[in-house]
Chain A
């Protein structure tokens, strides 16, 4: 039922078949767009950030007190007639539950949805012991009939069409079923009612295990959990230890976000608060037999981890999958082992082991969409990178990553190799900016975009000639180029320098700077990532600058948000790293916010210009208005659909998963066509590489370049403030 790929090539084959699934693609596409709009509307009624911070803080505190909360819950629940168990792993949890069933002479079991029971693969164990087990959540029941695992944490059968469901129901009932969804839902109502009535035992999940009074809280829409916990003689609730919640207040706060994030609802139809073993008329003593089984399965260890303990903020809302551009393409069965989406990649590593996680955890493009919506504010992309780094330490990285890593340790070697590449590529470029004549064999799955050529002269080599001199400068800034602009698109930096110099800014370009290190992080090469970070902080600490400007959103976000953590162990750079990170600013923000450039500074070309919001700019740095205002000042801004959707570049991601990258690119180009624009500008050379390559390959008559290029072209010499 559950599978995890062993090798990247095996995984890519699976992904290929998922990409062929037209229904899945269409469904997830519609869902992604509708979800985003619904979520935005439903969150307007509450203080989203405030509540998320509150959840993060309270879960972090609860995590530190897990043992104490467990003891308190146990004491409170047992006082109320509940038996509380603690299982060290999945096998033991399943054993406890099977034993409870045997001891109570149970034959039939009904279940309401529980991801923890999926984690322990409880059904398989119960089937092996010859119990009759029926899932009663509609989606879970459908996938049980199909012998599949869930493809979404909240909507487990989202990958299936009404026609498939009608076929499954026809088989299950022996009667031909209509494909009308309203009727199909009623088939479940009719079929499952008998099962609820006949069942001896109900198994439910638990959204919150409230320590103050031993309450099990269950959140559902269908009402099946109420049946499961009421009709049978025995009720077993299964919960991860992370579900321990100190008081009702924390649960109520989480309930403000969980349904909103999961399905755009204010609250689910039902929330049950079960405090103690209450009445049950079918037991001889008239009382319910109620057990709560807590599953550890590595949780006490994770709780002690200073970084990974934040995964206990997860409320299992599934939002990280809802916004993930990769999930949207390949679906849940290809994006996690049991738990899916971004959190699924992480939980797979902890609950199901590194063998299951090693390939899966590569499938994150790093767009940060998940981090932006997480109910607990978990830094999911960072944790995924961290797991890659751990896997590298434990198992060694792949050959390419190790090779690149060893080259990049030595800046001079890295840079001379890049320069050498410009000679090596000559036969293939035909004098254009693209590598045109690479044999198709060599390109393989990468044929969806034209690859850029290495520039004839790197920016660092041009610098001595173009370095501007400013008299009585308003600002002194340093440029951080990043590899792509230094060696592939130096003209973007030149355009930026032209604008800065024209507005009285003194620009410096420290030559000792190197790669920002993000690609190394993405490949799990932590050690080298730290080394290049040190080089860069040193390079920019020799002089005092008002700002460190970069035209690459990914570099900016990495320098600003990750350097302090990466260099935390370096006492020699203490203070310098923070000072450096604080000064880092993206080009558009500096020009717009600090220099205050606007319509007076540019000749409006009238050209229709579309915009792609790079992941690391809009989500990584929260910059949204500046670039759009600048476009409006220099041209006619043509807004497009889903401007903030990832273009699929993701640095090394596009090399590892070219098929997915190509599909994401396709989506962006479709949106671009609809704008009718003749130019597309972005704030990141990586996105330029991806989008320009795609536009070239498809023969679109659209120029793709950096915001700086558009601005430099239309800059008024003096500015309007004279």
Chain B
């Protein structure tokens, strides 16, 4: 192991520790194929998503933990994936009987199962992922899904916020109009008696897949 390797390993380990500290689940996986399999497995293992608003024509299952009807056909939304990756995921979803989508997420704002996104970079000190959320679908994938899964390349993790200033600037100025989001852990609150609770509006769980390549 070279000195640079050990420095970057330290950054990765810090990221894992700090992300875990804010209730994110961090998984190190060797490649995108493994990551896509992980997405399908997570979707299969979870409770069916609750439907929190009217959605015409949706097939409803028995009530979920909050006494709301659940989805019978599970949904995985992956607007960030490139065509090749999306095809692999869509095929795996089909085998399991899940609906896989990459656009028109607004039709499912009542709630869906899994959202998949790709991070631009990570920040170790706070376990943060920086996301291009310019498109509505990219935003909704991380907002409405009960479980949000982010793919992050381990080699793009930076030590702290000040160290990404220029990267953030380039990202925001990448297009004339942009919407960028930093995500550190699942949606949370402590507004009632300061007791920590996750999933108040956004995802109930955040999984970060650290990719080696």
Report A's interface with B, CB cutoff 8 A: 27, 30-31, 34, 45, 79-81, 136-139, 142, 155-158, 160-162, 165, 181-190, 192-194, 196-197, 212-213, 215, 221-224, 226-227, 230-231, 248-249, 252-253, 255-256, 263, 265-282
Bound together, the chains give a CA A432 to CA B197 distance in angstroms of: 57
CA distance A197 to B111 in the complex (A): 11
With contacts A181-B197, A193-B110, A268-B184 known, is A249 near B162, CB below 8 A? yes
Additional 18 contacts, C-beta under 8 A, given A197-B110, A231-B109: A81-B177, A155-B190, A186-B65, A192-B201, A223-B143, A223-B203, A227-B143, A248-B168, A252-B161, A266-B125, A269-B183, A269-B184, A269-B188, A270-B181, A270-B184, A275-B173, A278-B179, A280-B136
In the assembled complex, 20 residue pairs joining A and B whose CB atoms fall closer than 8 Å, in A order, are A80-B176, A155-B194, A181-B192, A185-B199, A190-B50, A197-B110, A224-B201, A227-B143, A227-B201, A248-B168, A248-B172, A252-B161, A252-B165, A265-B22, A266-B18, A270-B202, A273-B179, A276-B176, A276-B178, A279-B136
How far in angstroms is the closest Cβ of chain A from B181? 5
User: What's the least CB distance linking B60 to chain A, in Å?
Assistant: 15
Which of A138, A227, A266 interacts with B191 by CB under 8 Å? Answer: A138
On whether the beta carbons of B106 and A185 are closer than 8 Å, the reply is: no
1/0 per residue B149-165: CB within 8 Å of A?
Answer: 00000000000111011
Instruction: Return chain A residues, CB-CB under 8 Å to B181.
Output: 226, 270-273
Q: How far apart are the CA atoms of A192 and B191 in the complex, in Å?
A: 15
Contacts of B182 in A (CB 8 A): 267, 270-273
Contact A185 B165 (CB under 8 A): no
Contacts of A192 in B (CB 8 A): 201
Asked whether, in the complex, the Cβ of B200 is within 8 Å of the Cβ of A80, the reply is no
**A138, B189: Cβ atoms under 8 Å?**
yes
A183 contacts which chain B residues (CB < 8 A)?
66
B interface residues (Cβ-Cβ under 8 A, vs A):
18, 21-22, 50, 52-54, 65-66, 68, 106, 109-111, 123, 125-128, 134-136, 139-140, 143, 160-162, 164-165, 168-169, 172-173, 176-195, 197, 199-203
In the complex, the answer to whether A273 meets B184 with C-beta atoms within 8 Å is: no
Contact B187 A222 (CB under 8 A): yes
Residue from B52, B134, B188, B195 in contact with A222 in the complex, judged by beta carbons closer than 8 Å = B188
A181, A189, A252, A265 — most chain B CB neighbours (10 Å): A189
Nearest B residue to A34, CB-CB: B194
- Bound Cα distance from A266 to B15, whole angstroms: 12
**Is the pair B52, A213 in contact by a Cβ cutoff of 8 Å?**
no
Contact A279 B66 (CB under 8 A): no
Known: A269-B185, A276-B177, A280-B136. A223 touches B53 (CB 8 A): no
Contact call B202/A222, Cβ cutoff below 8 A: yes
The answer to whether A194 and B52 touch across the interface, beta carbons within 8 angstroms, is: yes
Chain A contacts of B199 at CB under 8 A? 185-186, 189
* A496: min CB distance to chain B, Å: 45
Q: Are B201 and A31 in contact (CB under 8 A)?
A: no
CA distance A249 to B183 in the complex (A): 18
Shortest Cβ distance from residue A635 to the other chain B in the assembled complex, whole angstroms: 39
Residues of A within 8 A of B177 (CB): 80-81, 275-278
Chain A residues with CB under 8 A of B187: 221-223, 269-270
Contacts of A215 in B (CB 8 A): 172
Tell me the complex Cα distance, A81–B175, Å: 13
Top 10 A-B residue pairs of the complex, sorted by shortest distance between their CB atoms: A276-B177, A223-B202, A139-B191, A267-B126, A193-B52, A266-B126, A223-B187, A271-B182, A138-B191, A273-B180
CB distance from B143 to the nearest CB of A (A): 5
The distance in angstroms between the C-alpha atoms of A267 and B140, with both chains bound, is 21
| A120–B154 CA distance with the chains assembled, in angstroms | 46
A248 to B161, CA, bound (A): 11
B189–A222 touching, CB < 8 Å = yes
Q: Are A194 and B191 in contact (CB under 8 A)?
A: no
Residue contact A157 to B191, C-beta cutoff 8 Å: yes
In the bound assembly, the distance between CA atoms of A187 and B200 in angstroms comes to 9
A319–B28 Cα distance when bound, in Å, is 37
Query: A197 near B195 (CB under 8 angstroms)?
Result: no
Q: Which A residues touch B134, using CB under 8 A?
A: 278-279
| Inter-chain contacts of B18 with A (CB < 8 A) | 266
Q: Which of A189, A194, A274 contacts B200 (CB 8 A)?
A: A189
* A165 with B192, Cβ < 8 A, contacts A227-B143, A281-B136 known: yes
- With CB as the reference atom, state the residue of chain A lying closest to B165: A249
Complex alpha-carbon distance, A187 and B66, angstroms = 8
Please give, as numbers and ranges, the residues of chain A lying within 8 Å of B21 by CB-CB distance: 266
Q: A181-B197, A223-B202, A249-B165 are contacts. A281–B192 as well, Cβ < 8 Å?
A: no
CB distance from B164 to the nearest CB of A (A): 8
What is the distance, in angstroms, from B56's C-beta to the closest C-beta of chain A? 13
Give A310 Cβ to nearest chain B Cβ, in Å.
Answer: 24
Whether A193 touches B111, Cβ cut-off 8 Å, given contacts A186-B199, A266-B126, A267-B126, is: yes
Q: How far is the CB of B198 from chain A (nearest CB, A)?
A: 8
> When chains A and B are docked, how far (Å) is the Cα of A397 from the Cα of B192?
41
